[in-house]
Structure 1
Amino acid sequence: MPLLTIGHRGAKGHLAENTLPSFKKAVELGAQAVELDVHVCATGELVVLHDFTVDRTTNGSGEVHKLTLASLKALQVEGKYTLPTLDEVFEVLGKGVFVNIEMKGRHTAKPVADFIQRYITEKGYTYSDFIVSSFQREELEALHNISPDTPIGVLTQASVAQAMEWAAEFKAVAIHPHFSLLTESNIKKAKQAGYEIYTWTVNEPEDIARVKTLGVDGIITDYPDRL
């Protein structure tokens, strides 16, 4: 299978992260996939945003899970963009772009499982159009229990071995290690165990070149054009 270029929060190196123009830009730059982060807001919608608060990326302040969708929509990113819902991102991307949904906020497993089920039932998507990842054990466990068919990726910035343990437990299809953790040896073990490897966040040309030689399945990058 060819190496998958995965745009990190869209094309974060070029345009404001996790905004609709950034996701469009990633695809324009050749990404076959995008990675994004979701939280559940106070009114129940899945909102695409990395941080637990809106303080860093918008002109507002407060915790995402305490703000309504209307109040989140009133905020601006870099004075010109709005925070998108997960539905809006999928409307912009359309079918054919593989989406890595990272469960960032708490209690995201059920809404994410429901979202994927709705897209499969109503819009003709299949489970292979998605992968759902998280660092959070409780969210991975909840997702696996609610929707065992949803492909899971285990994120780690600490240990490939631990990611593989969790992957076995939750019947994950992939592990998502930080690129600094990758070695020929642990990649071989992960591959032998049947896991795909999507590594993050690889931006520098020399790091991209090294990671490519290791035989990973996908590279998550702020600069899809560098792959």
Structure 2
Amino acid sequence: MLKIGHRGAKGHAAENTLASFQKAIALGVDMIELDVQLSLDKVPIVIHDETIDRTTSSVGLVTDYSAKELQKLGIPTLRDVFEQVDNRCEINVEIKTFSATQAVLDLIDKNKIDKTKILISSFDWNALQEVRFRDEEIRIGVLTETDLDLALAFAKFIKAEAIHPYFHLLTAENVLKIKEKGFKIFPWTINEPEDITFVTSLNVDGIITDFPERL
């Protein structure tokens, strides 16, 4: 079962920062999960929200700032993270907005990133469809917090590798069904010991958590 650090090691360091990803690697993760938005100059930036209000000392939309300005506020570019991780673990890139899709794929190609180390996920299934249209090989994870059957059907349609469900959706029956169809299951975001015990008992393929050391 893969140990997947949510936004790095969010339970220990500021989310989606180089420090958080470094901490996750130090805690022995197999994969880090991160979020991508686009900057004003169309650079893939690692931040969850559409604004910088919650995670920096400044305010405003991510799209109002250049990549360099955002870096000065402690927000890394996706390229910064690729360079830092340097193949030490896999990276789950969650695309937060459809407009970032092309730029993410271009960055992976341009930097000759090993695609076996990348898994692209999104709640925006149009973005995932675009990823598959552009690249027949890259690994895809279908995010859902509502409908597993729909996610399963869509995963088949776009030849995804995994389904990333909200963990409260999972039962022994539907996990078995998903695995029988040949998909991996990477549920999120599981932090409490009793929840970790329950989800582990379902034989999922990996767990996304703020506290990787608890797995």
TM-score, normalised to structure 1's length?
0.91
- Residue 34 of structure 2 contacts residue 46 of structure 2 at CA under 8 Å; is this kept in 1? yes
Partner of 1:93: 85
Residues 46-68 of structure 1: CA distance to partner in whole angstroms, max 9, x if unpaired?
Answer: 10000011111111111112321
Unaligned runs of 5+ in 2: none
Partner of 2:117: 129
How do 1:150-169 and structure 2 match up within 5 A? 150-169=138-157
User: Which whole-Å CA distance do the structure 2 matches of 1:139 and 1:97 have between them?
Assistant: 24
What is the deviation of 1:144?
Answer: 1.1
User: Which whole-Å CA distance do the structure 1 matches of 2:63 and 2:174 have between them?
Assistant: 37
Give the root-mean-square deviation of aligned CA atoms: 1.1
The question of 1:64 aligning with 2:74 is answered: no
SS at the partner of 1:206? helix
The correspondence for 1:215, drawn from 203, 209, 212, is 203
SS at the partner of 2:50? coil
The question of 1:29 aligning with 2:27 is answered: yes
Partner of 2:3: 5
Q: Aligned letter for 1:111?
A: A
What is the deviation of 1:35?
Answer: 0.1
Q: Aligned letter for 1:16?
A: A
Q: Aligned letter for 2:15?
A: E
SS at the partner of 2:83? helix
- Residue 135 of structure 1 contacts residue 154 of structure 1 at CA under 8 Å; is this kept in 2? yes
The question of 1:108 aligning with 2:100 is answered: yes
- Residue 113 of structure 1 contacts residue 150 of structure 1 at CA under 8 Å; is this kept in 2? no
Partner of 2:131: 143
What is the deviation of 1:141?
Answer: 1.2
User: Which whole-Å CA distance do the structure 1 matches of 2:97 and 2:45 have between them?
Assistant: 10
Runs of 4+ in 1 over 3 A off after TM superposition: none
Q: Aligned letter for 2:59?
A: S
User: Which whole-Å CA distance do the structure 1 matches of 2:170 and 2:99 have between them?
Assistant: 30
Q: Aligned letter for 1:22?
A: S
User: Which whole-Å CA distance do the structure 2 matches of 1:148 and 1:63 have between them?
Assistant: 33
Q: Aligned letter for 1:151?
A: R
- Using the aligned pairs only, state the percent identity: 44
- Residue 174 of structure 1 contacts residue 197 of structure 1 at CA under 8 Å; is this kept in 2? yes
User: Which whole-Å CA distance do the structure 2 matches of 1:96 and 1:128 have between them?
Assistant: 13
User: Which whole-Å CA distance do the structure 2 matches of 1:66 and 1:162 have between them?
Assistant: 35
What is the deviation of 1:106?
Answer: 3.0
- Residue 17 of structure 2 contacts residue 75 of structure 2 at CA under 8 Å; is this kept in 1? yes
How do 1:38-53 and structure 2 match up within 5 A? 38-53=36-51
